[in-house]
Structure 1
Amino acid sequence: MYSNSYGECFRITTFGESHGAAVGVIIDGCPSGLELNNDDIQKELDRRKPGQSKVSTLRKEDDMVEILSGVFEGKTTGTPIALIVKNMSQRSQDYNEIKDLFRPGHADFTYFKKFGIRDYRGGGRASARETIGRVAAGAVAKKILALKGIDIFGFIVQIENVKAENFDKEFIEQNPVRTADRQAYPLMEEAILKAKKELDSVGGVVELCIKNIPAGIGEPVFDRLNARLAYAIMSIPAVKGVEFGAGFKAASMRGNENNDEITPDYFLSNNSGGTLGGISSGQDIVLRFAVKPTSSILIPKKTIDINGQPKEIVTKGRHDPCVAPRGVVVAEAMAALTIVDMMMIHTGRNII
């Protein structure tokens, strides 16, 4: 069993390493006749790509996508879609000094223990650069969902100890932190840049909203829609926790307060986060996830080498002082892939 693939009806398989020749994705199960071109995918990759602002990594990559198969004369053919993005700005020499050391917070130690070998250049397969394939496939899924009027968007609600209090959707893509709070944005940016100046990093919390999803999507009991979404989000590098609706606050609420009352026209609240019994209720699906501080920092830390000997390490290279803003785009993609797949499963269940 290998876990480089995700989905059942709408299935993706990502490939490539951070410092390899390229990264990409194979999409199997995409319906035929969907209008699709490079720009549809590129606009999502441009939102994710590095080097766009002072709060992200200095690594510069154009991340230009190439469609190798599955599209003819501007429309999908129903056959596998192959998408590839070449790596153009590797600096593998940055990792020569630590090739035999395990970086704290990274997958170096566990990959070595599992496989007996690892690509030490930028984390190899465990690098967040693997998410390019997810975002590219997510762009295709988003096009499918747009035909159904389903909208997915994410935004930052917390950076370190700075929390958002206001919401302005239009502001999300107008600032590099991707927060929806104009007042909190300068403080969030300051927190990131302060950590960067101190050779450190910070984490954050992302909120994701899925609007206009019809009621009835989700498969009891193990493939609940919220369970599949949690699985998808938790598969993203650096994500450490997920909650839906009221989330952990529900533990301090009473049933009288937590239950979402129902009227003939709408629910009176959305503490459930848009699912009941793991099936979509027709309300907005609302979830939040925590992103840890970037593990690659320039502060010396204790570690061991591949022989188990104690060492000290400083991780050089070009790294985000906070990965949460770029994680927004990846989370949108994973949510879109999950919703399309679950809707296709639902359609098969209700074939008659």
Structure 2
Amino acid sequence: MGAHAWALYAVFGLVLGGLTRNSGKAGDISAPVISATKGVINRAWQLQLSFSIKLIAILAIFFGVVGTIANSTLLLRKGLELELGVESALFSGFIIICLIALLYTISAKLGLKKGIQTLSKFNVFLAFALIAWLLIFVPIEPIIDIAIGGTWGYIQLITTGTWQFESVLNDPAWATGWTYNYYFWWLAWGPFVGVFLAKISQGRPVWQYILGVVFVPTFVTIIWFSVFSGSAIAWDQTHNAGILEAIKADYTQGLFVFFEQLGWQGGLLIWSSLLLLLIFVATSADSAVLVIRQLSGASEAQTWSLYAWSFALGLCAFVLLVQNNEPLNRSVAIIGALPFLIIFILQLIGFIKEFIREFNH
């Protein structure tokens, strides 16, 4: 998740935030499209279009988050199986999803500042604590090498093969099974991430917005993956720990095999990582619940809608978990995001139209 994902989120937020000032419709996801179709369709059709856009956005958000919860539960379940020897995969998966659902329901109920912001800050502190802790036990040189080499390779990829066409790939099947899957997954997350970015970035210059939304998160992502991948590769080469073989057999085992080599510190790192992932999924879902309620027109006083959407997210995620099929989880997110691609294009047209109008004025 590098500049590609954050740039997509930044565009969503810029499109919504850029129109908020002129349209007076803060966070209205249909406003850019209505602007693009102004003069083409009448007021009655605009209202119908607005309803359809919000419905499609709700479906995109819902299925994108459901796929994320199901995939993350697979990893969390693997950790419990390895650490506690839990044999019932279905039961442990049910417990994990219940914990995630409880967390994001409470967080969404407490609201943006008391719930979501508090949980997110805790996760950020925990993530940096994990990085600092890990750096104590591993050499820094391979991490720096991977950070520099990986960053240079990524810059080349952005300039020569962003869309991963067959002509620039050694293995074209990779793009179909991975790159395009995640493009559409990020698209599914775009509506509710964009709404949040638009709200918290009002009043800031565009250059500050782009710096804070695209470059800073990308830099943090590079550090995160460089530390964990560099330390794992260095440890595997030095101790012949079998980490790479474990990843080839089942990518969910790599983290646990690596941390198990670190003694009692490894055990704490494993449980801290599981907690980090659990809270990360919860902070994604609570934001989604708030935006879905906003798009559906539910007021803050209508707590039944919060509980209904929270339950629906957890139930659908458990249904996917029962299938025990990671590619299926990604496919569900993609199916939900595909219709929103058309809306996204219309949003861009509406934003450009309003931008030119304001510039001329």
TM range (shorter): under 0.3
Name the one with the larger helix percent: 2
Name the one with the larger strand percent: 1
With normalisation by structure 1, the TM-score equals 0.26
